[in-house]
Amino acid sequence: MTKIVAIVGTLDTKGADFQFLRDEIVRRGCGVLVIDVGVVGEPAFAPDVPRTEVAAAAGVDLGALQAAGDRGEAVAAMARGIPLVVRRLYDEGRIHGVISMGGGAGTLLGSSAMRALPVGVPKVLVSTVASGDVAAYVGMSDIAMIHSIVDVAGVNSVSRKVYGNAAGAIAGMVAHETAAGEDKPIIAATMFGNTTRAVNQAKTELEAQGYEVLVFHATGAGGRTMEALIDDGHVTAVLDMTTTEWADELCGGVLSAGPHRLEAAARAGIPQVVVPGCIDMCNFWAPETVPEKYRERTFYKWNPNITLMRTTPEENARLGEIFAEKLNAATGPVAVYVPLKGFSEVDVEGKPFHLPEANQAFVDALRAHLRPGIEIVEMDVDINDPRFSSATVAALLEMVTQKGA
C-alpha cells in the first residue's frame, strides 16, 4: 500500500518551496495530500484540500477574514481549523504522516496540525525557529523539527538540501513499520534524579507482574505529557512518585507542569498512588537565575546548570492544601504514601535539605483538607528505601485488582 504524506503549507507565500517538497516526497515513492493554509494571495498550485475547507473547520469564512485585512486573526483561525482537518483525514485512513515548513506563522500552523495526531504518527516540521525554544510548538507531541538554516523563502543551494532531507525523513518514517510488541496494561510513573532508585525498583516489581511502565521525567513537560496520555485513555494506573512540579508551580521554578497537574488521573477515575516526591525542592537554572527574593534561602547545586532551592514549611503546607484539592476530585481509588524520613535524596538526615518540620507541614495540611475515604499512609523510611517502593507498588496493584482494570 502506498503511504500518503499530508503536506500542510501556505501555498501563497511559499508555494515554490512546497512544490519542491511535494516532488521530493513523490520521488521517494510516497503519495501526497496537500492542504493549503495560506491566508494572503492565491495558491501557487492546486491543493488537494483548499484553504476554505480549513477555515470552515474553524467555523469561519475565510473570505470575510481576508476582507477584514487582519492577517493575525486569519492565521489564528487556520490554526484552529487545521488540527480538525488533519485528524479527520488520519481517522479516515487517508494519511499516514504529516510534514510542514515555515517561519513563525507556518510553524504555528504546521505544529497545530501535528499535535492533533497520536504519538507514533510521523511528524516532520522544517522551521526557521527550530534552533530556539520550541516548547510552544512541540508541546507534548513527538514532532521532529529540522532547522531550515535559511528562511523558507525559495529553493536555493541550501534550502534544496534541507528540504530534500526533510522529504527523506518523512518518507522513511511512513514507510517504516515498527515491530509490534506485546500489549500490556500501562502504569505511568514519575521520576527525578532524586527519586531514581525508588522508581527503578518500583518499575522492576511492576514489570514482573506483567505491566508496562512508562516513566516520565518530572521536568514540567514530563508531567504534562503523562497527564495528556492519561486523558487519552492509554494509562491503567499511576504511581506518581515525583510530584515536584507542583513545588515549581507554587514557587515560580523552571520545571512547572502548570496548575492542572494531578488532575488527569482523578478525572479519569484510574487508580493512583501519590507521593510528595521532591516537593522539598524548587528548581532553577544556574545560580544567577534565582530570583532576588530567594537569595537568602537554602540551595543545593545539583549540577552547573540546575540549582535546587529548599521549600519552606509555609510552602509545603500550601502544597498539602493543593494536593488535597486535586485528589478530593478523584473519581477512582487513590492513596497518598508519605516517606517521613525524607522526600528526596537530599532531604534525609545529614543532607542539606533535611527539614522535618517542613515535611510535617505538608502532612498536617494534607490531612486537614483531604476528604474522608482517601488513605494517607505514613512510613518511617525515606523515599528511596526499598520498603517504600514495594509498599506503593503493593497498594497500587491492590487498587487495580479491586477496580478490575
DSSP conformation letters of 377-390: EEESS-TT-HHHHH
Write out 74-129 in H/E/C secondary structure: HHHHHHHHHHHHHHHHHHCCCCCEEEEEECHHHHHHHHHHHCCCCCCCCEEEEECC
Q: Give the range among 98-102, 113-117, 138-142, 270-274 with minimum mean pLDDT.
A: 138-142
List pLDDT tens digits, range 207-227.
999 999 999 999 999 999 999
Please, are residues 106 and 16 in contact by the beta-carbon 8 Å criterion?
A: no
Higher pLDDT pick, 39 / 385: 385
Residue 385 has pLDDT above 70, yes or no: yes
Find, among 250, 275, 286, 239, the residue nearest to 347 by Cα.
275
In this prediction, residues 242-254 reach a mean pLDDT of 98
CATH number at residue 21: 3.40.50.12020
Is residue 18 in a domain?
A: yes
Length of the chain: 405
Any alpha helices (H) in 182-281, and if so which ranges? 196-208, 221-231, 245-251, 264-268
Is residue 181 in a domain?
A: no
How many domains would you assign to the chain?
Answer: 2
Is residue 180 in a domain?
A: no
Write out 297-342 in H/E/C secondary structure: CCEEEEECCEEEEECCHHHHHHHHHHHHHHHCCCCCCEEEEEECCC
* CA–CA dist 350, 353 (Å, integer): 9
In this prediction, residues 109-114 reach a mean pLDDT of 98
Is residue 287 in a domain?
A: yes
In this prediction, residues 42-58 reach a mean pLDDT of 97
In this prediction, residues 124-152 reach a mean pLDDT of 95
* Residue 404 binned pLDDT confidence (cut-offs 50, 70, 90): confident
Residues 213 and 162 in one domain: no
Residues 158 and 242 in one domain: no
Three cell numbers, residue 103? 517561519
In this prediction, residues 325-335 reach a mean pLDDT of 97
Q: Give the range among 5-19, 64-78, 147-161, 239-253 with minimum mean pLDDT.
A: 64-78
In this prediction, residues 383-405 reach a mean pLDDT of 94
Range of the domain at 81: 4-175
Residue 285, burial from CB neighbour count under 10 angstroms (0-12, 13-18, 19+): middle
In this prediction, residues 381-395 reach a mean pLDDT of 98
Residue at which a domain ends, from 156, 175, 194:
175
Is residue 131 in a domain?
A: yes
List pLDDT tens digits, range 303-320.
999 999 999 999 999 999
* CA–CA dist 316, 363 (Å, integer): 9
* CA–CA dist 276, 210 (Å, integer): 26
pLDDT (0 to 100) of residue 40: 85
Q: Which residues pair with 49 in a beta bridge?
A: 35
* Mean pLDDT over the full length of the chain: 96
H-run or E-run covering 342: none
Residues 218 and 127 in one domain: no
* Residue 379 binned pLDDT confidence (cut-offs 50, 70, 90): very high
Residue at which a domain ends, from 150, 175, 200:
175
Residue 97, burial from CB neighbour count under 10 angstroms (0-12, 13-18, 19+): buried
Residues 140 and 35 in one domain: yes
pLDDT (0 to 100) of residue 63: 86
Q: Which residues pair with 147 in a beta bridge?
A: 127
Residue 403 has pLDDT above 90, yes or no: no
Residue 181 has pLDDT above 80, yes or no: no
Residues 245 and 144 in one domain: no
Torsion, Cα of 149, 151, 157, 159 (10° steps): 70
CATH number at residue 197: 3.40.50.12030
* CA–CA dist 380, 398 (Å, integer): 22
Is residue 272 in a domain?
A: yes
Three cell numbers, residue 277? 516526591
Residues 163 and 28 in one domain: yes
Residues 86 and 31 in one domain: yes
pLDDT (0 to 100) of residue 405: 55
Residues 100 and 138 in one domain: yes
* CA–CA dist 75, 69 (Å, integer): 11
Residues 209 and 337 in one domain: yes
Q: Give the range among 62-71, 128-137, 183-192, 372-381 with minimum mean pLDDT.
A: 62-71
Angle at 98 between CA 96 and CA 101, to 5 degrees: 165
Q: Is the dihedral of CA 48, 105, 85, 175 positive or negative?
A: positive
pLDDT (0 to 100) of residue 398: 97
Q: Is the dihedral of CA 368, 374, 376, 382 positive or negative?
A: negative
